[in-house]
Chain A
Amino acid sequence: EDKVVQSPLSLVVHEGDTVTLNCSYEVTNFRSLLWYKQEKKAPTFLFMLTSSGIEKKSGRLSSILDKKELFSILNITATQTGDSAIYLCAGFNAGNNRKLIWGLGTSLAVNP
C-alpha cells in the first residue's frame, strides 16, 4: 500500500530559525514528490521534485529529493511568522489512475 510519512508532526520555532521538514515515501509508479503549504484553506503548491539531488529553491524555501533512499526534505531558512502553516508532502502515483498520496503534514508554528 502506498504511503507517505512526514516528520516531525509538529514544530515550534522562533523567528529567524532554520527548519528542516522530512518526508519519506513508498509510492508505486512514483513520478514526483510535491510539497504544499496549507494555511487556512486549500493547499498551495510549493515544489515538484522529479529528479534526485537537484535542489529546488524559492526564496527562503528549498527542497531536494533522494530517490534512492525515498525521501525528501523541505528547508526554510530565516523563518518568519508568515511561514506558520501545515506543510504537506505528497507522492505522485503516475499509474493508470494518477493520484497523489498525501502525508499527514508537519504543523509549523513560528513565534516572534
Chain B
Amino acid sequence: EPEVTQTPSHQVTQMGQEVILRCVPISNHLYFYWYRQILGQKVEFLVSFYNNEISEKSEIFDDQFSVERPDGSNFTLKIRSTKLEDSAMYFCASTERGVSGEQYFGPGTRLTVT
C-alpha cells in the first residue's frame, strides 16, 4: 500500500541552524501539507501546497519557514534559523485531488532544537 515517507525520523540541531525536513508524498497525490505537534499539544496546521505554490499558511508559518517541491517526488520544509520553540514532531501529509479530506500522514520527523 502506498504511504507517505519522511526523513529523517529524528533530527537534533542547535539553535540558529537551518534544517530541512523531507517528505515523499504518495505519488498520485496533488495536495501536500505540513503539520507540527509540540509535545503534549494538538496537531497544528502549518502550510498547504498545490500546483507548485503555497495554497494557505497559518500564522505559525512565518518568514523562517519555506516549502519546496524540488523534483517530482520530494516535498521539503525548511526552517532557516531554528529556535527552541521549533522543537516538535513535524508531519507531512498528502491527499489525492477529488478525495474529500482523506489525508495520509507520514511517520513524522522529531526535531529537537538545543
Q: Which A residues fall within an 8 A CB radius of B?
A: 31-32, 34, 41-45, 48, 50, 88, 90, 92, 94, 96-100, 102-105
Q: Among the listed B42, B56, B89, which residue makes an inter-chain contact with A104, where contact means beta carbons less than 8 Å apart?
A: B42
Q: How far does the alpha carbon of A43 sit from the alpha carbon of B70 in the complex, in Å?
A: 26
Write the B75-112 contact mask toward A (1 if CB under 8 angstroms, else 0). Answer: 00000000000000101000100001111111110000
Contact between chains at B100 and A94 (CB < 8 Å) = yes
Contact between chains at A42 and B101 (CB < 8 Å) = no
Most-contacted residue by chain A among B43, B44, B95 (CB, 10 A)? B43
Interface of B is mostly: strand
Q: Which residues of the other chain, B, contact A102 by a CB distance below 8 angstroms? A: 42-45
Contact between chains at A43 and B105 (CB < 8 Å) = yes
A-B CB pair tally, cutoff 8 Å: 57
Q: Among the listed B42, B95, B106, B108, which residue makes an inter-chain contact with A98, where contact means beta carbons less than 8 Å apart?
A: B95
Contact between chains at B45 and A42 (CB < 8 Å) = no
Q: How far does the alpha carbon of A56 sit from the alpha carbon of B31 in the complex, in Å?
A: 26
Q: Which residues of the other chain, A, contact B31 by a CB distance below 8 angstroms? A: 98
Once A41-B108, A42-B91, A42-B107 are accepted as A-B contacts, the answer to whether A31 and B101 lie under 8 Å apart by CB is yes
